[in-house]
Amino acid sequence: MSRDIEMRLARELPAYALRVVGALEAAGHEAWVVGGWVRDALLGRPGHDVDVTTSAPWQQTARVLRAAGIEVHETGTAHGTVTAVVDGSPVETTTYRVEGAYTDRRHPDEVRFVTDVREDLARRDFTVNAMAFHPKRGLLDPFDGEKDLAARVIRAVGEPRRRFEEDALRVLRAVRFACRLDARIDSATQDALVSCAPELAQIAHERIGQELDGILATGRAAWALRHEFAVMAAAVPELAPMAGFDQKSPYHAHDVLEHTARVCAGVEEFTGGGASQALRWAALLHDVAKPECWSEDVSGRGHFFGHPEAGARTARRVMARLAIPGDVSRAAAALVLLHDFEIRATAPSMRRMLSELERACPGQARRLSFDLLDLKRSDAVAKAPQCTGYAVELDQMTRALRAELAAGAVWRVGDLAVGGADVIRERGIEPGPGVGMVLAQLLATVMDGQLPNDREAQLEWLRW
Ligand code: ATP
Ligand code: MG
Q: What is the CATH number of the domain that holds 245?
A: 1.10.3210
In a domain, 147, yes or no: yes
Q: Is 36 in the pocket of ligand 1 (CB under 6 A)?
A: yes
Predicted local distance difference test score (pLDDT) of residue 101: 62
Q: What is the mean pLDDT of the chain?
A: 94
User: In this structure, are residues 87 and 80 in contact, taking their beta carbons and an 8 Å threshold?
Assistant: no
- Which ligand 1 atom sits closest to the C-alpha of 167? 27
Same domain assignment for residues 265 and 382? yes
Residue nearest to atom 12 of ligand 1 (CA): 36
Q: How many angstroms does the Cα of residue 90 sit away from the middle of ligand 2?
A: 12
| pLDDT for 332 beyond 70 | yes
Cα–Cα distance, 273 to 234 (Å, whole number): 26
Among 171, 176, 186, 185, which residue's Cα sits nearest to residue 219? 176
Give the pLDDT confidence of 257-314 residue by residue, as tens digits.
999 999 999 999 999 999 999 999 999 999 999 888 888 888 888 888 899 999 999 9
Same domain assignment for residues 272 and 322? yes
Strands (DSSP E) found in 15-144: 31-34, 50-54, 71-76, 81-86, 89-95, 97-99, 111-113, 132-134, 138-140
Question: 164: Cβ–Cβ under 8 A, 6 or more apart, which residues?
Answer: 156, 170, 171, 192, 193, 196, 199
Among 128, 126, 94, which residue's Cα sits nearest to residue 111? 94
Residue nearest to atom 18 of ligand 1 (CA): 35
Cα–Cα distance, 325 to 320 (Å, whole number): 8
Same domain assignment for residues 453 and 393? no
Which range marks the domain in which residue 276 is found? Answer: 241-406
- Which ligand 1 atom sits closest to the C-alpha of 39? 6
- Which ligand 1 atom sits closest to the C-alpha of 177? 3
Same domain assignment for residues 31 and 118? yes
Predicted local distance difference test score (pLDDT) of residue 253: 78
pLDDT band (50, 70, 90) for residue 66: very high
pLDDT band (50, 70, 90) for residue 53: very high
Cα–Cα distance, 227 to 223 (Å, whole number): 6
Strands (DSSP E) found in 6-110: 31-34, 50-54, 71-76, 81-86, 89-95, 97-99
Give the pLDDT confidence of 215-251 residue by residue, as tens digits.
999 999 999 999 999 999 999 999 999 998 887 777 7
In a domain, 49, yes or no: yes
Give the pLDDT confidence of 382-419 residue by residue, as tens digits.
987 777 788 888 889 999 999 999 988 899 999 999 99
Which chain residues have CB less than 5 Å from ligand 2, an ion? 36
Predicted local distance difference test score (pLDDT) of residue 232: 98
Predicted local distance difference test score (pLDDT) of residue 148: 98
Residue nearest to atom 22 of ligand 1 (CA): 124
Domain boundary among 88, 122, 151: 151
**One-letter identity of residue 216:** L
Predicted local distance difference test score (pLDDT) of residue 384: 76
Percentage of the chain beyond pLDDT 90 is: 85
Give the pLDDT confidence of 139-158 residue by residue, as tens digits.
999 999 999 999 999 999 99
pTM of the model: 0.93
In a domain, 101, yes or no: yes
Same domain assignment for residues 281 and 384? yes
Mean of the pLDDT values across residues 450-455? 94
| pLDDT for 161 beyond 60 | yes
Q: How many angstroms does the Cα of residue 80 sit away from the middle of ligand 1?
A: 15
Total domains present in the chain: 3
Predicted local distance difference test score (pLDDT) of residue 258: 95
Same domain assignment for residues 257 and 388? yes
Reported as type and span, the H/E element at residue 153 is: strand 153-154
Percentage of the chain beyond pLDDT 70 is: 97
Same domain assignment for residues 287 and 335? yes
Higher pLDDT, 79 or 107: 79
The length of the chain in residues reads 464
Same domain assignment for residues 422 and 340? no
Predicted local distance difference test score (pLDDT) of residue 464: 82
- Which ligand 1 atom sits closest to the C-alpha of 166? 28
Q: For a substitution probing ligand 1, which of 81, 120, 129, 206 has the most ligand atoms within 8 Å of its CB?
A: 129
Please, where are the H alpha helices in 242-306? 256-270, 277-285, 290-293
Task: Give the CATH number for residue 444.
Answer: 1.10.246.80
Q: Is 94 in the pocket of ligand 1 (CB under 6 A)?
A: no
In a domain, 157, yes or no: no
Q: Is 158 in the pocket of ligand 1 (CB under 6 A)?
A: no
Task: Give the CATH number for residue 42.
Answer: 3.30.460.10
In a domain, 379, yes or no: yes
Q: Is 176 in the pocket of ligand 1 (CB under 6 A)?
A: no
C-alpha distance from residue 359 to each of 197, 281, 315, 348, 419 (Å):
39, 19, 17, 16, 19
Among 453, 331, 341, which residue's Cα sits nearest to residue 404? 453
Residue nearest to atom 3 of ligand 1 (CA): 36
pLDDT band (50, 70, 90) for residue 2: low
Same domain assignment for residues 350 and 437? no
Mean of the pLDDT values across residues 438-443? 95
Mean of the pLDDT values across residues 21-34? 98
Predicted local distance difference test score (pLDDT) of residue 16: 97
Same domain assignment for residues 11 and 85? yes
Give the pLDDT confidence of 99-135 residue by residue, as tens digits.
866 666 556 667 899 999 999 999 999 999 999 999 9
Q: Is 168 in the pocket of ligand 1 (CB under 6 A)?
A: no
Mean of the pLDDT values across residues 433-438? 95
Same domain assignment for residues 326 and 429? no
Q: How many angstroms does the Cα of residue 33 sit away from the middle of ligand 1?
A: 13
Residue nearest to atom 2 of ligand 1 (CA): 36
Predicted local distance difference test score (pLDDT) of residue 343: 93
